[in-house]
Structure 1
Amino acid sequence: MPAPYKPTRDDPPGVPARRAALRLLDAVLRRGQALEGALHNATQGLDNPSDRALSHAIAAQVLRRLADLDALIDSATRQALPDDAKARFALRIALAQAILLETPPHAAISTVLPLVDGGPRKLVHGVFGTLMRQNATLPDIATLPAAVAARWEAAWGMDMVAAAGRAIADQPPLDLSLKADDVEHPAGVTLLPRHVRVPAGSGVRAAEGFAEGGWWVQDLAASLPARVLGDGAGRVLDLCAAPGGKTMQLAAAGWDVTALDISEARLSRLSDNLARTGLSAGIVVADALTWTPPEPFDAILIDAPCSATGIFRRHADVLHRASPRVIAEAREVQAALLARAADWVRPGGTIVYAVCSLEREEGEDQVAAFLADRSDFSPAPADPSVLPTGVAPTAEGFVRTLPGMLADQGGLDGFFIAAMTRNA
């Protein structure tokens, strides 16, 4: 991994943030790192929080519209630049600023030219100038990475691919889960009980009810697994619990919750949120593949590690990292977790399996394989009343959310949710 960037006195103002954006893009596109995971190292040396935020915003916008930015670049060059050429990266960064972030063109280009010192600066300047004179724009429907589009077309059809392109072209709204019906919260649209949807970019920490612990940020689709499980007074295990939105939902719904995760740091965030909301749960730092509970649970919610392609609206980097190998590796872990957790639920109890993935291998196929292997489990069809209007259980009684659902209300992340009962 390259050493953290150290700004020098030779860098004009604004350039260090663009260098950090370049490092972020390199981390995602060349090394397969998650954007958020690469952020700390890539922005070392940037003392101003606004510079770090700008680096993140630039990289995120490039990743959202990478194919369309590249199409613009290719339209203005006689010979295609290599995918990993620094000139192409510099142009991606400049165009994302000028077109998507509304940075004045002269600032967008002047702050990226130092990134190609010793390289084709005239080419970068010329291509950018040509596109600005043409009033270059990006299509309303974003072009997805070719491999992702082909995979999703085969699984879900072209309409879904187009819907995904529309979804990633816009910033999604912010969903809030409420602790109770009567808590103070920001004004917004309610699509389900204990839910409020507010516009993208809304402040969080200073908003009504946050400090008082009345709500937390959680995409509406991510709230559905706990809603499918329903209210309860028994013991429930939230497996792979961090960052904890589902744990708080379950606690607010009356369950006696044990929250287990392998990451102590991520569980620390959950502990902070439990303290803020006044909710309670037992916290266990452990590897679910080696841990054994002292007694069976009445219910288990498995929000399994996955490719995370369903959250592409907020984290476009997943589309550039979720290769078939990544999906296959995630499926192996999911199968192991399901097999292990199946013996931890009492007869008559329920397992809810969920993944924020748009890949059938991690959702429908995974559950079909589990049910074929475990005759002591049966599907427990989801109650349609706990789902938002526009989302209905599948023929098997499971829940699948796709791009295009609730589009007029701001859309949904992609999720698969299956409830299964252990036969008594």
Structure 2
Amino acid sequence: MNNRGNSRSAPSGKKESQQPDKPGFAARKVAADILGNVVHKKRPLDGELDASSGHAGFRALAGNDRSLVRAIVGASLRRHGEISEILERLLDRPIPEKTGRVVDILHVAIAQMLFLDIPDRAAVSIAVDHAALDRRARPYKGLVNGVLRRLGRERSDLVSDLDPERLNTPDWLWQSWTEGYGAETARRIASAHQSEAALDLSVKSDPESWAERLDGRVVVRSSVRLKRKGAVEALEGYEEGAWWVQDAAASLPARLLGDVHGQRVADLCAAPGGKTAQLAAAGAEVTAVDISKGRLKRLDENMQRLNLAVQTVASDLRDYVPAAPFDAVLLDAPCSATGTIRRHPDVAWIKKPYDIEKLGDIQHLLLDRVLDWVRPGGLIVYCTCSLEKAEGELQADAFRDRHSGKVELVPVDAQEVGGLPHLISEDGYLRCLPHHKAVAGEEIRGMDGFFAARFRRS
């Protein structure tokens, strides 16, 4: 391309950020930017999509375009391995580094063509426009066009022999789940991750009534699972603080403390506050401790909406010392969060094996610290939203061995978890997996991967 041609496509003085006046272009550009930030720069997706502090382009979009961005990025991350394999089959050689957003542009377009209800022509056209706009990607706009048009023509042959569960799971996670649960269960976990998580609510009281009013149903004992998603703030009961959003599995650890009415309970690593709300709604005097002042501010706002009174403390648990022992302690320890991949698909691609080791050291330290924060005879519930046994069963086993004679395991009973015995391990731990049934005797499945162990201080 000669200089004159270049000047026509990007006239002198025009900023590269100027966009074609084409419906949907801004949303696709933002989606590619966010996808690249997550996959290449390992930035958490929640941070990129934060309405007040996230990606500037995302914050500038209208509501419907924000929804489109979420859908595109979600599909791109859930199917990241598949899309990478398809691209490899479509390309004669790998795309060189330092080519701008070429790879991200292609991933976004392929996600739309294969996994979202978006016409090929729209996905291809906007992808080519985006490549033309990016200074470093511009030389590859012909490649973008050719690759995507070929995908449109040959999609059946290109995808017929793919193994989605294996491709969309990083090798280290596949190995961890296979070793921990067996090959068949590992594949069922990976299959569950291909679908977006349902919207579950915890209610202050009368879950059956709220399920009827919100067109949902009761799962895992007392959570309300909605049949359709929508703007949470527009749902009945939001303004009056009758319920809060919380995955059904995440609601179980707090229940393991039993009747907490009138008890002093510590909720450690408490934000965003789902378990805090459960304990306060059950009549406990709750002290919610979290290292992040920003997250605690959000927790306070949630408690105000719910009309629940709790004490909040911003502190690193390695420095915090309670004024007096608690009746019970709930330690929702920092973890890899691999149990939340259905709702946070970025986790699979930003976490690494060394995170498990590093976080395991923190879990070990915190468990030992909180032992003396509960009165003799009081309960400690340790939980993580992780599928990794190093952050669950192995951590709990080691804690019990280290403090033999000082703590005893209190096994979980099926009736405490909605009459679902498959959520309880042979050792009496709570172990939820993403494909597990959420209602006894029915084929209603899906929940976050969660682990919890209950101990009594002797």
TM-score (norm 1): 0.92
CA distance in 2, matches of 1:187, 1:145: 37
CA distance in 1, matches of 2:139, 2:176: 37
What is the Cα deviation at residue 47 of structure 1?
4.0
Helix, strand or coil at the partner of 1:232: coil
Alignment partner of 1:383 is 2:417: no
Amino acid at match of 2:435: G
CA distance in 2, matches of 1:327, 1:115: 38
Larger radius of gyration, structure 1 or 2? 2
Question: In the alignment, what sits opposite 1:22?
Answer: 32
Seen in structure 2, the aligned counterparts of structure 1 residues 227 and 96 have a Cα distance that, compared at 3 Å, is same
Helix, strand or coil at the partner of 1:352: strand
Total equivalences in the alignment: 419
Question: In the alignment, what sits opposite 2:336?
Answer: 307
CA distance in 2, matches of 1:52, 1:96: 16
User: Any runs of at least 4 consecutive aligned residues in structure 1 with deviations exceeding 6 A, and if so which?
Assistant: none
Residues 140, 169 of structure 1: 8 Å contact kept: no
Helix, strand or coil at the partner of 1:418: strand
Question: In the alignment, what sits opposite 1:410?
Answer: 445
Seen in structure 2, the aligned counterparts of structure 1 residues 84 and 330 have a Cα distance that, compared at 3 Å, is farther
Alignment partner of 1:35 is 2:45: yes
CA distance in 2, matches of 1:358, 1:38: 24
Question: In the alignment, what sits opposite 1:201?
Answer: 229
CA distance in 1, matches of 2:199, 2:140: 42
Aligned pairs (5 A) from 1:343-422: 343-375=372-404, 376-388=406-418, 389=420, 391-406=422-437, 408-422=443-457
Amino acid at match of 2:247: D
Q: Which moved more, 1:152-161 or 1:59-68?
A: 152-161
CA displacement, residues 110-150 of structure 1 (integer Å, 9 cap, x when unaligned): 11223333232222211211111234468695432223212
What is the Cα deviation at residue 328 of structure 1?
1.3
Q: CA RMSD in A?
A: 2.3
Question: In the alignment, what sits opposite 1:265?
Answer: 294
What is the Cα deviation at residue 352 of structure 1?
0.2
Helix, strand or coil at the partner of 1:169: coil
1:128 equivalent among 148, 167, 174: 148
What is the Cα deviation at residue 10 of structure 1?
5.2
Residues 259, 281 of structure 1: 8 Å contact kept: yes
What is the Cα deviation at residue 82 of structure 1?
5.8
CA distance in 2, matches of 1:382, 1:42: 46
Seen in structure 2, the aligned counterparts of structure 1 residues 153 and 9 have a Cα distance that, compared at 3 Å, is closer
1:114 equivalent among 121, 124, 129: 129
CA distance in 2, matches of 1:49, 1:7: 21
Residues 175, 218 of structure 1: 8 Å contact kept: yes
Percent of counterpart pairs with the same letter? Answer: 39
Provide structure 2 residue ranges, at least 5 long, that are not aligned to the other structure. 1-14, 133-137
Seen in structure 2, the aligned counterparts of structure 1 residues 54 and 38 have a Cα distance that, compared at 3 Å, is same
Amino acid at match of 2:65: D
Question: In the alignment, what sits opposite 2:176?
Answer: 151
Helix, strand or coil at the partner of 1:189: strand
Seen in structure 2, the aligned counterparts of structure 1 residues 42 and 65 have a Cα distance that, compared at 3 Å, is farther
2:194 equivalent among 133, 144, 169: 169
Amino acid at match of 1:393: I
Aligned pairs (5 A) from 1:164-313: 164-181=189-206, 184=210, 185-233=213-261, 234-313=263-342
Amino acid at match of 2:188: A
Q: Which moved more, 1:195-204 or 1:39-48?
A: 39-48
2:66 equivalent among 52, 60, 67: 52
CA displacement, residues 1-50 of structure 1 (integer Å, 9 cap, x when unaligned): xxxx9832556543332222222122221222211123313536734343
CA distance in 2, matches of 1:132, 1:387: 47
Amino acid at match of 1:417: A
Helix, strand or coil at the partner of 2:219: coil
Seen in structure 2, the aligned counterparts of structure 1 residues 178 and 83 have a Cα distance that, compared at 3 Å, is farther
CA displacement, residues 183-235 of structure 1 (integer Å, 9 cap, x when unaligned): 64512121244321113524321112222211111001100101111222311
CA distance in 1, matches of 2:189, 2:97: 24
Seen in structure 2, the aligned counterparts of structure 1 residues 140 and 214 have a Cα distance that, compared at 3 Å, is farther
Aligned pairs (5 A) from 1:315-326: 315-326=344-355
1:70 equivalent among 84, 101, 118: 84
What is the Cα deviation at residue 243 of structure 1?
0.5
Residues 338, 388 of structure 2: 8 Å contact kept: yes
Provide structure 1 residue ranges, at least 5 long, that are not aligned to the other structure. none
Q: Which moved more, 1:129-138 or 1:330-339?
A: 129-138
Helix, strand or coil at the partner of 1:28: helix
